[in-house]
Structure 1
Amino acid sequence: MADIEVRHTGQHSFEATNDRGASVRIGRKDQPGSFSPVELLLAAAAGCAAVTAETLITRRVGDGFTARAGDVRPEGAHQLDEVPVTLDYDLSALDEDQRATLETAVRRAVEQLCTVTRTLKKATPAPLHLPASASTTRHPPEGR
């Protein structure tokens, strides 16, 4: 199980680290040099699809493919309506049957194995845990 720690580093500035020593800066969408939380979600969706499909794609068409995820929501909304993921790679060296076979294999792999996009489709709960305050841990006086 992977845990990510996000530490406050300044006003509207945070750093996320994993147990392998990697880190990424997080901030508000206008914070220079950082990713916003939504951008990290989009990167996770595109990255998961890319990691999942990498071997299938590079084995057939070589290196140099890209993955993108879009932010689809009404202006000012605080919830995404959709996270479309696009994989882009050069199919010019493949005939029509090879293209169809690759498309089927990539689509199946991402739909079955990409944890991030599968989780987004499922709308997994994300409970918020806060420290217990003194008032919630105290017991009422006896006799009341």
Structure 2
Amino acid sequence: MTTIRTERTGVHVFTAVNDRGASVEVGRAGQEGVFSPVELLLAAAAGCVGITAEELVMRRTGVAPKVEATDVRPAGAHQLDGVRIEVDLGGVDEATRAEVVAVVNRAVAALCTVTRTLKRSTAVEMGVG
């Protein structure tokens, strides 16, 4: 089980801390020096895809992938537009290129917990004490 604890550290600013002591500041969109919750979600999706794809791509091509996640706001609601992996495959043959795309797509579908989680809804509970 993974638990992230957040504590208010300022007006509309929270610090999120994991069990290993790593922390990140989360704040309202537009605030300087902090990630908004949506930006953290995009970073998590892109990071998960990148971590999943990295070794597969590097082993076959020697080229490090770059990953980008984009948010769109149709009718005022946030929606993950998608996650895009960029890899310069100009130096590899067509068969290797097709293999890299297929292997990465399978691995991300099977192993990337963030993008798989985003496909499901998340329950939000409020504890009142």
- Specify the TM-score bucket, using the shorter chain as the normaliser: over 0.9
Please say if residues 61 and 89 of structure 1, whose CA atoms lie closer than 8 Å, have aligned partners that are also in contact. no
Aligned to 1:137: none
Q: CA deviation at 1:129?
A: 2.0
Structure-2 separation of matches of 1:107 and 1:130: 39
What is residue 46 of structure 1 aligned with on the other side? 46
Residue 58 of structure 1 corresponds to: 58
Say whether 1:15 aligns with 2:15.
Answer: yes
* Structure number with higher strand proportion: 2
Spell out structure 1 runs of 4+ moving beyond 3 A: none
Q: d(CA) in 2 for partners of 1:23 and 1:54?
A: 24
Number of residue-to-residue matches in the alignment = 129
Alignment of 1:55-134 (within 5 A): 55-74=55-74, 77=76, 79-121=77-119, 123-132=120-129
Root-mean-square deviation (CA, aligned residues, Å) is: 1.4
**Structure 1-normalised TM-score?**
0.83
How far 1:22 moved relative to its partner?
Answer: 0.8
Query: Mind listing any 5+ residue stretches in structure 2 that lack a counterpart?
Result: none
Q: Percent identity?
A: 50
TM-score, normalised relative to structure 2: 0.92
Q: Which runs of 5+ in 1 are unaligned?
A: 133-144
The equivalent of 1:32 in structure 2 is: 32
Structure label with greater radius of gyration: 1
